[in-house]
């Protein structure tokens, strides 16, 4: 008897694949988010609703953080030399942090899990508990 170093993943039912498709699409650009909402409206699932709420929270928090950071960077621009550099560092931190959170959410969606992202995932689920149900 020989054993293979590779294991074959069990077949995923078509219904679960559709649930995952909504979850995954929601993370792929704003157009993917809109398409995911349309797909979810015809067949509502817990996985799809969870990830749609996560992405809605990302969008709204990102928009708000971008405005707040824009004002902060404008004010920092008046500080010679260090102000613009600090502003660039803040923007880079926001973009990289947001990207990491989106990738973490996307990985959870691909795995079919309802895992909230660190820091903002749990509050997002509470704030938007009645959205996409």
Token pair belonging to 93:
């931190």
Q: Report yes or no on whether pTM surpasses 0.95.
A: no
**106: three-class secondary structure by DSSP:** helix
Backbone angles phi, psi at 10, to 5 degrees: -65, 150
User: CA 100, CA 107: separation in Å to the nearest integer?
Assistant: 11
For the segment 59-115, what is each residue's pLDDT rounded down to a tens digit? 999 999 999 999 999 999 899 989 999 999 999 999 999 999 999 999 999 999 999
* Phi, psi for 78 (deg, rounded to 5): -80, -10
Please name which of 33, 48, 53, 44 lies closest in space to residue 117, comparing C-alpha atoms: 53
Model confidence at 123: pLDDT above 90: yes
Q: Which residues fall within 8 angstroms of residue 76, CB to CB, at 6 or more apart?
A: 83, 84, 86, 87, 90
Question: What is the rounded CA–CA span in Å between residue 29 and residue 57?
Answer: 14
pLDDT tens digits for range 11-58: 555 556 777 889 999 999 999 999 999 999 988 899 999 999 999 999
């Amino acid at each position: 008897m020989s054993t293979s170093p590779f294991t074959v993943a069990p077949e995923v039912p078509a219904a679960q694949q559709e649930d995952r498709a909504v979850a995954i699409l929601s993370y792929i650009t704003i157009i993917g988010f809109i398409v995911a909402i349309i797909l979810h409206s015809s067949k509502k699932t817990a996985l799809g609703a969870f990830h749609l709420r996560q992405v809605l929270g990302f969008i709204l928090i990102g928009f708000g953080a971008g405005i707040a950071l824009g004002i902060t960077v404008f004010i920092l621009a008046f500080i010679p030399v260090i102000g613009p550099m600090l502003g660039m560092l803040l923007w880079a931190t926001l973009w990289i942090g947001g990207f990491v959170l989106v990738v973490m959410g996307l990985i959870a969606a691909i795995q079919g899990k309802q895992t909230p992202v660190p820091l903002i995932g749990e509050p997002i689920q509470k704030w938007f508990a009645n959205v996409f149900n």
